[in-house]
Structure 1
Amino acid sequence: MVTDPTAILLLLGTFGTLILIGTPIAFAIGASSVITTAYMGLPLEMVAQNMVKGVNVFAFLAVPFFIIAGEIMGSGGISTRLIKLSNALVGWIRGGLAMVNIMASMFFGGISGSSSADTSSIGSILIPMMKEDGYDGDFATTVTMASSVQGILIPPSQNMIIFALVAGSVSIGRLFLAGMIPGILLGVALMIFSYFVSVKRNYPKSEGFNLVYAIKCFASAGLGLGTVLIVVVGVVAGIFTATESASIAVIYAFIVTFFIYREIPLRAINGILTRSLKTLSVVMILVSTASAFGWLVAYLRIPVFIAEGLLAVTENRILILLMINILLLLMGMVMDMASLILILGPILLPVVTKVGVDPVHFGVVMILNLGIGLITPPVGSTLFIGSAIARIKMEDLARAMIPFYVIMVLVLLIITYVPSVVMFMPNWLMPLK
């Protein structure tokens, strides 16, 4: 490792400049890595070697399998069944469809692991339904987008796998468990807020709770929810690894979708695999180029400089976590989630571990932070999807999202400063030996 301020400035400056002029993030990462390596006189083959090394990891195989499983379940009627189940459970409350929206996102997020997939699938059904039932269009859309962030917290989540790869020795199983309570907490907070809004605006509610109907809905949707049980229970119980569980989840999702639900023909698998491949290609190029970038970051001792700089300002754990949260929230507004995990993860991990924060705890904090970025302008992908589905201008949705941002930041602060909310499940079910 070396200390070269000019090389550090070149690496970060080139990357920042390319982002500002609209270069795709993966190319900005790769180009800045190549330019800095050439400036330092190092063999350019090292860039290629580190790119290959970044994706040549057994645990990374779980990512494509989870993407395929989520695409299969999202295309095969599971979202409709989850909406019916959610309606049976909470639809009778004032503002019932808003509650249904949030609970359906909680269920579906556990299958897809994706905020954008959640908004696309649940939102395309529920947003028009809520508008027809008398809900304001902006509220129907914003509650859909806000609740979709649960999908990246509740397992399985490919972003948690990416963080585990970045962190090195972090257990994927413990990360999965750590995201459960924060994901549910976020859903409950959104439900409480939506209830008060619904009472104030006199939004409708459905008929009273019917236990028999709820049981029937659960029986119908239960097979879809089994995907989550396969992954979480299998990994936590040590029956198989995250990669093995993901591959089994694909087979299970395939059987349930095409041979039990049978709402789409078998030939639809071609489109599902094509969409999965497009998503995977984006993830692969990000992971590979970020691996080369991360190697240069470590080689130039940037994490050490940042850790020393923050600790020079203060060694107070509360203030350091606050500064990191603000940094992540701001960066999440302008960059893709996976990219930030890959770039900032190796930089910030030494800082938080220095002040006694468990990497699993930090992983959940980081993922929720960046999840908020997915629904924040100017580049929030989920915000674009919600705008397209509802046909509402993005700037109008961003204004309507303000109270939801406040709720989500409050949940973020709770999980940041009350570690037991995050660590209770992993410490209980997968304690460190």
Structure 2
Amino acid sequence: MTTSPTVPNKTGWLTWLDENAEKPFLCIGLLAIILIITFQTAYRYLIVNFSDTASAAVWTEELSRFIFIWISYLAVPLAIKNRENIRVNVLYDKFSPKWQSIFWVVNDLCFFFLSVYVTCLGVHMIGEGMRYPQMAPAMQIPYYIPYSIIPLGFALISFRLLQDIFLEVKTCGIKGLVTAIFVTAIIVAPAYIMWYLPDFQAFENFEPSATIVLFSYFLLVIAIGVPIGIGLGLASLLTILATGTIDLGYIAQISFTSIDSFPIMAIPFFVAAGIFMGAGGLSSRLLALADEMLGALPGGMAIASVATCMFFAAISGSGPATVAAIGSLTIPAMIERGYNKYFACAIVAAGGAIGVMIPPSNPFVIYGIASQTSIGDLFLAGIIPGILTGLVLMGYSFWYSKKNGWMGEKKTRTFGTFVKAIWDAKLALMVPVIVLGGIYSGLMTPTEAAAVAAFYGLIVGMFVYKGLNKDNIIPTMLEICSTSAIIIILMAMAKVFGQIMTVEEIPAQIASYILGLTSSKIIILLLFNVFLLFIGTFMEALAAIVILVPILLPIATKVGIDPTHFGIIMVVNLAIGFITPPVGVNLFVASGVAKVKLDDISKQIWPILALMIVVLLLVTYIPSISMFVIR
């Protein structure tokens, strides 16, 4: 007896569409921009430079920017569905489970309020664009076509938020939903009250301070767990409603133009290069090489773990990615060889912090864009602080392991085995050569080098190491898009926040206040370090950079601190934040890998933190440590 094939019913198709609506566009879009920029780079140097008749492919950069913006905003709904975002959970974690559920709905409602507003503003912007069309210079298409991602993307974000609210209501109940709506109304209401107050004669001269409204709202919403990027956008929207400091339509426009930037595209490419190479089987080969070189020493596996983190840092540009990729291999290996498991987690978490110092580095890319500083110079200047940090961690591992009797693994190590380990890792070791060699030879911009590295990582991972395959390639690409989108929306919303600060002259006022207290460069550097170390205890590095650079950089330049040197100080500070309780994200990743409590790892991290602060002070007060390579 035969059976006919099952035809999906209407509900089945809807379920499939709900689960997969964004995924095909994200995978195709990511692959497209990697291929387009790789083609652009190859075309320029292999065809244009060797042909008198060929012309530059000027359309490639514009098309790739537009696709990049589209997939960035289409990935945000996926991040919402997967509940991935950058948020401050210090206060949120102290709530009872019931109130955590209620405030999760509050956070979704706050985001929903912002996304609906931006959707409506985006529709109006597209209407204006259709009435008064402007053409993209290279592709000669009306700008309203690429700009349409703003209403479309934020409408889809609104839909995913409603889904998330519906799911959470199953936990908090209808009473919890009503409470959440009431709390959200209390948050939003003051902005509308201030908006309408001047209409009454008794308050016609009422002028609320945009500075107070902006920072009050921002601190309030991030304290209750609203994602930082959304907190920036929501605080900006409510401040504009309350004070009219800038035009409301600016939010929709800047949501597109702030990330319509070729340098910003380096971020998803570097993320892609690291994830492709990590998933593709790179980590085990780098570890084998490091173990071959250093494994015979006391604490050999710990030292090799730090060395592997340094190698991987030259590929991933991310601290947590480094801990995840290397820790999953080295932490179990150290525990098996008799190391204290909490020390194993702590040293790998600290080694992962090097991931944002040694280039490529996403924080350096964002700092360079925010400060208009050369990303290439930042990359070069970050090498020595990263290596110095690694050497200090290796020295501590050697001393602490020898003290505890954790000796190196005894096995045959010869010149032949060393050469074999290098040969096995040769393709992995080529990535820093591609990135840094391409940039400093003048052959490629940082964005082009990142795209070529991502393409290289994809090819090597699929066809050589074969760690990337049909089972994990789609989840890997979605992870890249989701991770990048969280950073990109943070930058877009920070631009609106920064514009209000500029109009209100907030950075200039803060600079005048601090310089009024002291003009000593030494003291100001010390204040910067204390402040940034404090910020790093509860705020993610990328968020801190986009918020603080417009405020702190003017002060730094006025006392004679080079912007590149200040970028190094800032990133090293915030790298330490990756391992600083209570919100050290590297500690969370390490504890997840080893399945141990964060409190137990934290007890092991304090001496390591002290050593990294010593490195920070050296980098801060001896600029030549980092700056001599670019002078």
TM-score bracket, shorter-length normalisation: over 0.9
Task: Return the alpha-carbon distance in structure 2 between the equivalents of residues 266 and 21 of structure 1.
Answer: 41
CA RMSD of superposed structures (Å): 1.3
1:40 aligns with 2:249: no
Is the contact between residue 276 and residue 468 of structure 2 (CA under 8 Å) also seen in structure 1? no
CA displacement, residues 90-148 of structure 1 (integer Å, 9 cap, x when unaligned): 11111100100100000011111111111111111111110110100111000000011
- Partner residue of 1:286? 490
Structure 2: distance between partners of 1:5 and 1:422? 45
Within the candidate set 353, 356, 371, 2:575 is matched to 371
The yes-or-no answer on 1:394 pairing with 2:602 is: no
1:198 to 388, 396, 401: 401
Q: CA deviation at 1:250?
A: 1.4
What's the TM-score, normalizing by structure 2? 0.66
Gaps of 5+ in 2: 1-206
**Distance in 1 (alpha carbons) for counterparts of 2:393 and 2:407:** 18
Q: CA deviation at 1:66?
A: 1.0
Instruction: Say if 2:264 is the partner of 1:60.
Output: yes
User: Which of 225, 229, 246 pairs up with 2:429?
Assistant: 225
Output the CA distance in 2 between the equivalents of 1:192 and 1:311.
Answer: 39
**Aligned-pair CA distance for 1:9:** 1.0
- Give the match for residue 243 of structure 1: 447
Question: Where does residue 290 of structure 2 map in the other structure?
Answer: 86
Q: Distance in 1 between matches of 2:231 and 2:467?
A: 42
Q: Quick one: higher RCO (CA 8 Å, sep 6+), 1 or 2?
A: 1
Displacement after TM superposition at 1:378 (Å): 2.2
Distance 1:247 1:128 in 2: 33
Larger radius of gyration: 2
Unmatched tracts of structure 1, length 5 or more: 428-433
Instruction: Tell me which residue corresponds to 2:623.
Output: 419
Structure 1 SS opposite 2:472: helix
Whether 1:255 aligns to 2:459 is: yes
1:24-62 deviation line (CA, Å, top 9, x unaligned): 111211111111112222321122223323211111111
In structure 1, the residue matched to 2:220 is 17
Match of 2:300 among 66, 91, 96: 96
Residues 131-184 of structure 1: CA distance to partner in whole angstroms, max 9, x if unpaired?
A: 11010011100000001111111111121111111002x111111101101000
The answer to whether the 8 Å contact 1:51/1:289 transfers is yes
Measured after TM superposition, the shift of residue 377 of structure 1 is 2.2
Q: 1:216 aligns with which of 414, 420, 424?
A: 420
Would the aligned equivalents of 2:319 and 2:356 in 1 still touch at CA under 8 Å?
A: yes
Give the total of aligned pairs. Answer: 423
Whether contact under 8 Å (1:109, 1:118) holds in the other structure is yes
Identity, % of aligned pairs?
A: 39
The amino acid that maps onto 1:215 is V
Find out whether 1:274 has 2:474 as its counterpart. no
- Give the aligned partner of residue 111 of structure 1: 315
Corresponding position of 2:281 = 77
User: Residue in 2 aligned with 1:184?
Assistant: 387
- Please list, as runs of the form range in 1=range in 2, the aligned pairs for 1:306-325 lying within 5 A after superposition: 306-325=510-529
2:333 is aligned to 129
Counterpart CA distance in 1 for 2:383 and 2:441 is 16
The answer for the alignment partner of 2:533 in structure 1 is 329
- Report if the CA contact (8 A) 1:50-1:295 is conserved: no
List 4+ stretches of structure 1 deviating above 4 A. Answer: none
Letter of the aligned partner of 1:13 in structure 2?
A: S
Instruction: Report the Cα offset of residue 269 of structure 1.
Output: 2.0
Q: CA deviation at 1:335?
A: 1.1
1:171 to 352, 361, 374: 374
Tell me the equivalent position of 2:500. Answer: 296
Judging changes above 3 Å, is the alpha-carbon distance between structure 1 residues 257 and 382 closer, same or farther for their aligned structure 2 residues?
same
Find the aligned partners of 1:303 and 1:211 in 2 and give their Cα distance. 58
Partner of 2:613: 409
Q: In the alignment, what sits opposite 1:431? A: none
2:345–2:587 Cα contact (<8 Å) kept:
no
The equivalent residue for 2:21 is none
How far did residue 209 of structure 1 move?
4.8
- Residue 209 of structure 2 aligns to a residue in which SS? helix
For residues 319 and 367 of structure 1, what CA distance do their matches in structure 2 show? 19
How far 1:268 moved relative to its partner?
2.8
Alpha-carbon distance in 1 for matches of 2:422, 2:536: 36
Give the conservation status (yes or no) of the 8 Å contact 1:134–1:204.
no
Cα distance change of structure 1 residues 77 and 162 upon mapping to structure 2, 3 Å threshold? same
Aligned-partner Cα distance in 1 for 2:417–2:529: 44
- Equivalent residue of 1:327, what SS? helix
